[in-house]
Amino acid sequence: MHLSRYFMPILREPPKEAEIVSHQLMLRAGMIRQSAAGIYSWLPLGYRVLRKIEQIVRQEQDRAGAIELLMPTIQSADMWRESGRYDDYGKEMLRITDRHKRDLLFGPTAEEVITSIFRDGIKSYKELPRNLYNIQWKFRDEIRPRFGVMRGREFLMKDAYSFDLSKEASRLSYARMFAAYLRTFARMGLKAIPMAADTGPIGGDLSHEFIVLAKTGESQVFCHSDLLEIEVPAANTNFQGDLTEVMEQWIGAYAATEEMHDAKRFEAEVPKDKRVEARGIEVGHIFHFGTKYSEAMGARVQGPDGNLINLEMGSYGVGISRLVGAIIEAGHDDSGIIWPVSVAPFEVGLINLRVGDGATDSVCADIYAKLTGAGIEVLYDDTDERAGAKFSTMDLIGLPYQVVVGPKGVKDRQVELKDRKSGEKQTMSFEGVISRVIEDVQRNRILV
């Protein structure tokens, strides 16, 4: 992509309305613009990151055997009356009336819709277990939308729903999603710790929130520091198998959100030097709630012995748009964002320091062609801005690698390669920089 033809409205000054660094940086880097309170447009740069996060989530859901579908944003109130949640959900639900005076709503979650689809579609217990997911916009009329995309009113969520014949089987489905989540967040460069959590309006008896530690997190959390060191399941993990052991390794040590925190237990179970008390961002939340919806909505099948059995269910959410903010909270410095390669909007920024100089232009064109030809995503700054402005824009938008080409170096067939994270700069030959960048990007695309 040539920057001269792109749309990336950078703000030089920190916007006043933004309280936390990720919100400030997303506005400054031209990733999002607010359209109404808690409702954002995703500008081209931000949208590329959102899509990459979505794709990682999708790949790990698919690996774990979940099946993608797409449900509507607008739902019928009748379904929610069937489950008994229509009145309970309260003011967070955006209620809509159509021209025929029928009650609709903008879905804050989709237990009702999926339960009705699955109920009508399943014929035999032999079709179990199944896990269905979608990646769709949700709306919750939050009292205090804040921190940009972290607590929006409209936000992108991956929501998966498991259906099983028995409690035991549904715990296996839960463990499978638990393990998939560990990989999902690690691939974005995040350490997300599963913590015992409150189930709130979704309901159920077993629930974990996946929490990224960050000073600006909305919840207070408590955990054993060993949890920060455990390795996540490898890519070749057998997701068809029983992943209870993986889950138990993580839930063996103390980790709880504020609502579930038990100070006595924390002190008894965790040695003083291992106690982590911090703020955290909830990037995912999984629930096992048994037959709460299947019973209310009549989602049952005939078991092997002919008896009707209510389906055991769980639901599994990932805050995809929130993750964009969380990744920035976890990776930035005074100059701007520091993206991990796996979710960077572009993998390389190519800076031409003398646009219009024949030799410099042609070296840039050549590097651009070779890198893009190798499948690397390059943002080429071919604008006529000053060098200083170009450097600060590249640092602000946080692309992992910067290749800087100027007329002086070109004479000696030299360019500079800068690593955004370490700040390290190296002078290299044209050929050297191309092979080095291709190799580094390819290696770092898949973190685990």
Instruction: State yes or no: residue 322 binds ligand 5CA (CB under 6 A).
Output: yes
Query: Whole-number minimum distance, CB 377 to ligand 5CA, in Å?
Result: 26
CB of 166 to ligand 5CA, least distance (A): 21
Closest CA to 359 of 416, 408, 299, 422: 408
261 vs 322, beta carbon nearer ligand 5CA: 322
Name the one range near ligand 5CA by CB under 6 A: 24-32, 174-182, 258-266, 309-317. Answer: 309-317
Question: What would the x/- binding string for ligand 5CA be over residues 385 to 424, using CB under 6 A?
Answer: ----------------------------------------
d(CA 399, CA 345): 7
Residues 185-224 that bind ligand 5CA (CB under 6 A): 202
Q: Which of residues 270-299 bind ligand 5CA (CB under 6 A)?
A: 282-285
Rule CB under 6 A: choose which of 140, 171, 187, 208 binds ligand 5CA: 140
Cβ distance 211 to 193 under 8 Å? yes
Are the beta carbons of 401 and 439 closer than 8 angstroms? no
Q: Can you tell me the distance from the alpha carbon of 128 to that of 303, in angstroms, rounded to the nearest whole number?
A: 11
40 or 391: CB nearest ligand 5CA: 40
292 SS3 class:
helix
- Nearer to ligand 5CA by Cβ, of 21 and 283: the residue is 283
Tokens linked to 387: 């060098």
From the CB of residue 216, how many other CB atoms can be counted at a distance below 10 Å?
17
Near ligand 5CA by CB under 6 A: residue from 136, 162, 170, 315: 315
Nearer to ligand 5CA, 111 or 440 (CB): 111
Using the rule CB under 6 A, give the single segment among 311-319, 330-338, 383-391, 401-409 that binds ligand 5CA.
311-319
Give the pair of three-digit tokens for residue 73: 């944003």
Q: Tell me how far, at minimum, the Cβ of 448 lies from ligand 5CA, in Å.
A: 20
Burial, 59: exposed, middle or buried (Cβ in 10 Å; 0-12, 13-18, 19+)?
Answer: middle
Whether the Cβ atoms of residue 245 and residue 261 lie closer than 8 Å to each other: no
Phi, psi (5° rounding) for residue 284?
A: -155, 160
CA angle 147, 153, 158 (to 5 degrees): 95
Question: Residue numbers of the site for ligand 5CA (CB under 6 A)?
Answer: 109, 111, 140, 142, 151-152, 155, 157, 159, 202, 282-285, 315-317, 319, 321-322
